[in-house]
Amino acid sequence: MKAKTFPLSKAELDELVRSYPTPFYLYDEGALRENARAILRAFSIFPSFKEHFAVKALPNPFMLKILAAEGFGADCSSYPELILADMAGITGEDIMFTSNETPAQEYRAARDLGAIINLDDITHIDFLEKTAGIPPLISCRYNPGLLKGGNGIIGKPEEAKYGFTRDQILRAYGLLREKGVKRFALHTMVASNELNLDYHIETARLLFELAVEIKEKTAVRLEFVNLGGGVGIPYRPGDQGVDYGRLAAGIQAVYERIVVPGGLHPLGIHTEWGRVITGPYGWLVTRAIHTKSIYREYVGLDASMADLMRPGLYGAYHHITVAGKEDEAATETYDVVGSLCENNDKFAVQRQLPKIKPGDYLIIHDAGAHGRAMGFNYNGKLRCGELLLRPDKSIRMIRRSETVDDYFATLDLSALGDFFV
């Protein structure tokens, strides 16, 4: 079983919390950069490769700037995400704008930045033309329906609201060519947190075959295919993470079998991974403030589901260690909970852990994606901040914790005294 680790010793953590009280997120810049470089090395076997980091996973411009320095672009799905990419110096075709039910102003913002627009529906061709204009490079999102099985998180493609059908895709490329589009791409997204290599290789096969069919039936030659995201991470210590080299080699074999004889070589390969890029390199650090003994044993934390909602929302597993007690026996069984007025505000249910006392620091692992990003303010909870561990071991605050003033900032209180008078 591979142990989950934390980049700070107990003494270093004790020193850190003197300046930055819990709860907070901590990200490891050095490990993140090493991971990015490993991905680029593995996929360098293709004629061209581009990773557009899924901004929704960790929407912080400091993190995006680190990834941009390693050669990554951004996958955006909203106007604020486009702004975040721009803040980090990611512009032009390094941005892939993939959204659905898209407002006109967001298409215009994407056009202004020169982003690659990835259309979600055939009716959006006319909508885009009328509201923002058709760009010279455009992508279409494919929904394979029954041709591709979904997975537990994202669901079945035929039940998803996203993308074009196969017939619509073929019609769309012909229509776009008539409207003057010169450059084309194809995209799909059919999984989330999937560790099975064969699943991702099969997705590549499906897109490569469709790319050849598009060329044969519409005379449109695709510039690249975007395999989407969905590569998982080993949340449980016993899980096996994705081997980037094996994944790239498996996709390359399918490329050689389909793309090359289909007359589409060189065809670019793009991805929009998020979780696997940052997930393992972020931790939610929180402090035990209460214990409770009723029908079960409970540990109450100063963090809540408002800081990390995945366990409460999905029943998702996040490994937990107790700082300074990593080598102690897990003799106790706890529900580890927050203070939200919801019974599903639980980070762990019936988890075996060492004996915990108020004041102990708990480390919630693999929280570097879809963690702080999914935070909320229900119950008036204030979302925690984010810290960056630099390669030289210094700490940089990259987002402060919310304050009560932040919570009330959107209210217009100027006339409250006269209201209903």
Residue range 27-49: average pLDDT? 98
410 CB contacts (<8 Å, ≥6 apart)? none
Residue 357 clears pLDDT 70, i.e. is over it: yes
Query: Is 281-408 in the same CATH topology as 28-279?
Result: no
| pLDDT, tens digit (0-9, with 9 covering 90-100), for 80-94 | 999 999 999 999 999
DSSP secondary structure letter of residue 93: G
Residue 160 clears pLDDT 50, i.e. is over it: yes
Residue range 152-159: average pLDDT? 62
Residue 78 clears pLDDT 70, i.e. is over it: yes
| pLDDT, tens digit (0-9, with 9 covering 90-100), for 322-334 | 999 999 999 999 9
Q: Single out the residue of 278, 280, 284 nearest to residue 307, CA to CA.
A: 284
Choosing among 3.40.50.2020, 3.30.300.20, 2.40.37.10, 1.10.357.10, the CATH entry for 281-408 is: 2.40.37.10
158 CB contacts (<8 Å, ≥6 apart)? 143, 145, 146
98 strand-pairing partners: 118
pLDDT at 92: 98
154-158, 207-211, 231-235, 379-383, range with the lowest pLDDT:
154-158
Parse the chain into domains and list their residue ranges: 28-279, 281-408
pLDDT at 156: 72
Residue 281 clears pLDDT 80, i.e. is over it: yes
CATH superfamily of 28-279: Alanine racemase (3.20.20.10)
Instruction: Classify strands 297-301 and 268-271 as parallel, antiparallel or unpaired.
Output: unpaired
DSSP secondary structure letter of residue 417: G
Q: How far apart are CA 351 and CA 308, in angstroms?
A: 17
Residue 3 clears pLDDT 90, i.e. is over it: no
Residue 386 clears pLDDT 80, i.e. is over it: yes
Q: How confident is the model at residue 153 (pLDDT cuts 50, 70, 90)?
A: very low
Q: CA torsion, points 329, 330, 332, 338, in degrees to nearest 10?
A: 130
CA distances from 262 to 160, 213, 270, 272 (A): 30, 9, 19, 25
CA distances from 113 to 64, 65, 72, 181, 182 (A): 16, 17, 17, 18, 19
| pLDDT, tens digit (0-9, with 9 covering 90-100), for 164-219 | 999 999 999 999 999 999 999 999 988 889 999 999 999 999 999 999 999 999 99
pLDDT at 158: 73
pLDDT at 353: 98
Percent of all residues in the chain with a pLDDT value above 90, rounded to a whole number: 91
DSSP secondary structure letter of residue 3: P
Q: For the beta carbon of residue 217, count every other beta carbon within 10 angstroms.
A: 12
For helices 244-258 and 197-218, what crossing angle results, to 10°?
A: 30
Amino acid making up residue 412: D
Residue 1 clears pLDDT 50, i.e. is over it: no
CA angle centred on 276, ends 17 and 363, rounded to 5°:
25
First to last CA, the chain: 67
Q: How far apart are CA 186 and CA 208, in angstroms?
A: 9
pLDDT at 325: 97
- For residue 384, the number of C-alpha atoms closer than 13 Å in the C-beta half-sphere is 24
pLDDT at 161: 74
Residue 378 clears pLDDT 70, i.e. is over it: yes
Residue 244 clears pLDDT 60, i.e. is over it: yes
Q: How far apart are CA 275 and CA 138, in angstroms?
A: 26
Q: How confident is the model at residue 145 (pLDDT cuts 50, 70, 90)?
A: confident
> What mean pLDDT is reported for the chain?
95
DSSP secondary structure letter of residue 193: S
**Cis-peptide into 47, omega within 30 deg:** no
Residue 154 clears pLDDT 80, i.e. is over it: no
Q: Which residue has the higher pLDDT, 421 or 60?
A: 60
| Cβ-count burial 151-167 (b if 16+ within 10 Å, e if not) | beebeebeeeebbbeee
pLDDT at 415: 80
Residue 150 clears pLDDT 60, i.e. is over it: no
pLDDT at 134: 96
In SS3 terms, 327-381 reads as CCCCCEEEEEECCCCCCCCEEEEEEEECCCCCCCEEEECCCCCCCHHHCCCHHHC
